[in-house]
Amino acid sequence: MPGCQVSSDGAVIEAHNVFKVFVARGDRGGRRAFLALRDVNLLIEPGRFVSFVGPSGCGKSTLLNMVAGLVRPTEGVVRYKGAPIAAVNTKVGYITQDDNLLPWRTLRENVEVALEFRGVPANHRREQAAKYIAMVGLSGFEHHYPHELSGGMRKRTALVRTLIYEPEVILMDEPFGPLDAQTRVILQDELLKLWYGTGKTILFVTHDLVEAIALSDQVVLFSRAPGTIKQVYQVPLPRPRDVFHIHAHPNFAEFYDRLWRDLKEEIIETDLEAT
């Protein structure tokens, strides 16, 4: 398969010959099998920002959930630092479309929650929370509850709530999808500033090709369902990135056109099969 990586040397995440079959109850009480992923092979090197793109239903989030240990492969193996993932992977952070903030806790208390679970003393939790809250421009809102915050503010809170316990790998499943276009770009910029130079690995699911190009070192293109990896692209834009003017970079248009052309083939085939 073009673009698949086969050497596991130094990989933080490895998917090897992964298949996933989901079984659901049929309309008449029977059981129906659905092949979501087929023969997925992928290596993720430490410190890389990698985006997953592909048609809806192609298994991007399923693979992310396997890395989190929330879903097990039907066949094949997903490894974290060389060890098969056989249970919930507490070594990774996970940010979804929903901010999942606890409504009865203030912004600061939400940010502190992971450190609280780990038994970190209260004074140290507050020091760390204050530092991370300041990083995303939310100082002064520490005592506000989630319903008092805008969508962008809640997403910033969810981001630093994950970053505060310093996971080596962060999984992000369309985290900016529900936001308006302006807020999305601002948060993309903030995410890059928070991530750049940390050595952390990010796996980022998105349907937005511009977002994938602006943020990523690599873009992984999934085929239509049952999803497999059609291609892995190296993003030809240097860092640091200016997400506000990413379209103006001389390499952007050619790379975008190539990525869209390969993705469109999968989308068209998906639509044809649905008719």
How confident is the prediction along the chain (275 residues), in pLDDT tens digits per residue? 334 444 456 899 999 999 999 987 766 666 788 899 999 999 999 999 999 999 999 999 999 999 999 999 999 999 999 999 999 999 999 998 888 999 999 999 999 998 998 889 999 999 999 999 999 999 999 999 999 999 999 999 999 999 998 899 999 999 998 788 999 999 999 999 999 999 999 999 999 999 999 999 999 999 999 999 999 999 999 999 999 999 999 999 999 999 999 999 999 865 556 54
What is the pTM assigned to this prediction?
0.90
Type and span of the H or E element at 109: helix 107-117
Q: Max Cα separation, the chain?
A: 60
Single-letter code of the amino acid located at 216: S
pLDDT confidence of residue 25: 74
Q: By C-alpha distance, which of 243, 245, 129, 252 is closest to 196? A: 243
Pairing of strands 75-80, 13-25: antiparallel
pLDDT confidence of residue 150: 92
pLDDT confidence of residue 5: 46
Q: How far apart are CA 143 and CA 133, in angstroms?
A: 12
Q: Answer whether 18's CB lies under 8 Å from 75's CB.
A: yes
Q: By C-alpha distance, which of 189, 211, 196 is closest to 256? A: 211
pLDDT confidence of residue 77: 97
pLDDT confidence of residue 26: 66
Please report the DSSP string for 144-173 in residue order.
--GGGS-HHHHHHHHHHHHHTT--SEEEEE
